[in-house]
Structure 1
């Protein structure tokens, strides 16, 4: 992955769509029960987070499953991300979480530590769930201490979403292997020529900082804690705050004012780091054209990137472990499910579903091309382990990073506060 090759048309691709799957609210339905009936029919509770488009698609896959498995009924429960985990924590504490539920790497160790998650290897050994045909080694994302407690349904990676018109007007062309210095020089050019900020606020994004650390031989998390120092974080936030004051990064007060719209689609800046499959939101919100560009590097080669994933997990105390495993197997392997879900939760994780779905819109074509380009360039590594409490640290990083951006907290004090909150989270 050299610095001389410009990103080709298939890499910086137009993103199209109506709204991000992570946005929007949906009412929660269903409350579960004993899971059985007199005629032998089993009922499983299935919970996830996401917007209305995801809910509509998942309900179609549930109907398909019930048609093929008439003795298993599925009761759906869904809401937005924050409300999902608030409710799930209460359910887990009360011993009544859903039988099957959407999960993410930041929560695996936390709920494994509490004995909530089923080790699905046993169900795989029994023939109720296949652990074969997962793409690019993504199955490992759901493994903790030798147990398979999450089964990936999709995969995504970090990307730089850019305002194509702004970059073109400024005469800036992203390149694979470009360095951070080259990236910030590009943003300065955009600011000078177009009088807008270059970035929306990169330094409060935990997953981007993780990539930066990985580029420098560290990582955000170790198995049990943080993989960097207070000095490391202080420097990161000092650099970010300086760029806010210089106007290179968008005014955080204006960023707050346009929420829930992105500062990028609101025209406050020309680029924003996020997960590649979230790029659908910008075209729906904004007036420009948007595309995916490479992550800047430290050495012109290593981006630190990996495939993240949404997963399905099962409750260790479910009364119907075999049926839960069969349901998960269907949801991650059935080709028709793949065609229904598309890339709503990221690039489809298994070959059966990946091969079954051919994207037709510009956004999904762009996401597929971007991930294939990154994989072909050999940029993908293994995901950084997340200890129990990682979810709390992620929220704290976003909040405290925002305080730094607004000048409410000095970088050194903010770093100290983050480490203090992390210590408490890991001990919980």
Structure 2
């Protein structure tokens, strides 16, 4: 017989089941998926996927859909998604490519989320926040910082009886250093005086002389005196003629891989055109610890021209449908110490001071040197570089064309300055 007691039990079980199904449905309704796109090596992929797992354990209602590749093809993919209005919620970016996305209103301004505490920046220095600002708005957050760096072999300097590179060296000091190494040891002082070909050395040179590569709105070059270009090229030509650095043909034939730079096999005492996060790679190639040094100062400089830059940035699509959940992920990424330990220095020296302190406790020999170098660089750096205009790569290509023609002595530095100015301003004005 079906008693009242059995009926009550069935009713209770029915209610419990109904409630469970409702909770499950509610949970399903609350489930959010965010797309996160980045480029990198297999090591970076593995570290990033582990941090995603940690985040999902803390926030089970938020799933991160990873979309990752190598550097090659990454920007073609991002540009295609931007054109199709289908950017991921979270995008790993580089500062030099951001201006076009900002001008097209495709990235979210993070300022309101910092102001309301959704993203805690208490332990991130304001100078590092500036690295994510484009046209005065906080369009991204730097994952870490790098500084332009040279690397030198202490054993070769000791053999030549020459002082190690110093942060107070001038451009002329470095020229004399390269020449003396060549005279004493019969090897190159460096492959090139600084990062000549891609313009990084020229950026520093211009800043030290009170100028800039671009004008404020990116519609023309930022310097009027072509003698600055001429003097920079003559500095290089003088060193080429002395035999202290590679000539044009040797530079074009040199291996591009950092592990195969001439400093790694004793054919040069320094390497001058790298970044602070490349210490491990170049030291591994050399089979011993190489030591980083800063770019030189200008003897007559009017301001500090050396700089630091974000290794990369995390940005947010303006069209994200889940900004609150995105901010939870960014807050976790930048502030969770355990997550920071997993990421390490793979995306530059972290900007969060607590994360850096934790990393220093168990740092390997390379990271210890990098931490100290970045500290030194921060004390000898000017403001962050302004955002490059969308046509930056075309302008750099024009600069490189003039550069190669000058050092091959096909044209004079004066002719190179005129050629570059005309080409660059035409590109920027179109």
Alignment TM class, shorter chain as reference? 0.7 to 0.9
Aligned-partner SS, 2:189: coil
Residues 180, 298 of structure 1: 8 Å contact kept = yes
Query: For the structure 1 residues 159 and 95, does the alpha-carbon distance in structure 2 shift closer, same or farther, using more than 3 Å as the test?
Result: same
Q: Which of 347, 360, 369 is the aligned partner of 2:363?
A: 360
Question: 1:399, 1:55 → 2: CA distance?
Answer: 36
Q: Which of 189, 210, 228 is the aligned partner of 1:198?
A: 189
Counterpart check, 1:227 vs 2:222: yes
Residues 179, 297 of structure 1: 8 Å contact kept = yes
Per mean C-alpha deviation after superposition, the further-off stretch among 47-56 and 183-192 is 47-56
Deviation at 1:257, TM superposition (A): 4.0
Residues 177, 300 of structure 1: 8 Å contact kept = no
- Where does residue 144 of structure 2 map in the other structure? 154
Per mean C-alpha deviation after superposition, the further-off stretch among 244-253 and 214-223 is 244-253
Query: For the structure 1 residues 171 and 80, does the alpha-carbon distance in structure 2 shift closer, same or farther, using more than 3 Å as the test?
Result: farther
Aligned-partner SS, 2:64: strand
- Where does residue 388 of structure 1 map in the other structure? 389
Question: 2:40, 2:396 → 1: CA distance?
Answer: 19
Deviation at 1:190, TM superposition (A): 0.8
Residues 41, 72 of structure 1: 8 Å contact kept = yes
Deviation at 1:70, TM superposition (A): 1.4
Compare the two structures and name the one with the higher helix fraction.
2
Counterpart check, 1:258 vs 2:249: no
Residues 187, 269 of structure 2: 8 Å contact kept = yes
Residues 224, 426 of structure 1: 8 Å contact kept = no
- Where does residue 14 of structure 2 map in the other structure? none
Residues 107, 316 of structure 2: 8 Å contact kept = yes
TM-score by length of 2: 0.82
- Where does residue 5 of structure 1 map in the other structure? none
- Where does residue 180 of structure 1 map in the other structure? 171
- Where does residue 281 of structure 2 map in the other structure? 281
Matched ranges for 1:196-345 at <5 A? 196-201=187-192, 202=194, 203-225=196-218, 226-229=221-224, 230-255=226-251, 256-260=253-257, 261-271=260-270, 272-299=272-299, 303-309=304-310, 310-345=312-347
Aligned-partner SS, 1:190: helix
Task: Point out where structure 2 has 5 or more consecutive residues left out of the alignment.
Answer: 1-26
- Where does residue 13 of structure 2 map in the other structure? none
Query: For the structure 1 residues 124 and 54, does the alpha-carbon distance in structure 2 shift closer, same or farther, using more than 3 Å as the test?
Result: same
Per mean C-alpha deviation after superposition, the further-off stretch among 188-197 and 123-132 is 123-132
Deviation at 1:134, TM superposition (A): 1.0
Query: For the structure 1 residues 280 and 391, does the alpha-carbon distance in structure 2 shift closer, same or farther, using more than 3 Å as the test?
Result: farther
Residues 107, 391 of structure 1: 8 Å contact kept = no
Question: 1:409, 1:164 → 2: CA distance?
Answer: 38
Residues 108, 142 of structure 1: 8 Å contact kept = no
Deviation at 1:368, TM superposition (A): 0.8
Residues 102, 313 of structure 1: 8 Å contact kept = yes
Question: 2:127, 2:292 → 1: CA distance?
Answer: 23
Aligned-partner SS, 2:237: helix
Deviation at 1:387, TM superposition (A): 3.5
TM-score by length of 1: 0.82
Deviation at 1:209, TM superposition (A): 1.9
Question: 1:41, 1:199 → 2: CA distance?
Answer: 56
Query: For the structure 1 residues 40 and 263, does the alpha-carbon distance in structure 2 shift closer, same or farther, using more than 3 Å as the test?
Result: farther
Residues 105, 386 of structure 1: 8 Å contact kept = yes
Deviation at 1:338, TM superposition (A): 1.4
Aligned-partner SS, 2:30: coil
Question: 2:412, 2:42 → 1: CA distance?
Answer: 40
Residues 153, 312 of structure 1: 8 Å contact kept = yes
Residues 175, 239 of structure 2: 8 Å contact kept = no
- Where does residue 30 of structure 1 map in the other structure? none
Query: For the structure 1 residues 262 and 305, does the alpha-carbon distance in structure 2 shift closer, same or farther, using more than 3 Å as the test?
Result: same
Counterpart check, 1:348 vs 2:339: no
Residues 149, 276 of structure 2: 8 Å contact kept = yes
Query: For the structure 1 residues 421 and 61, does the alpha-carbon distance in structure 2 shift closer, same or farther, using more than 3 Å as the test?
Result: farther
Q: Which of 373, 378, 381 is the aligned partner of 2:376?
A: 373
Deviation at 1:113, TM superposition (A): 0.5
Larger radius of gyration: 2
- Where does residue 83 of structure 1 map in the other structure? 73
Deviation at 1:413, TM superposition (A): 4.5
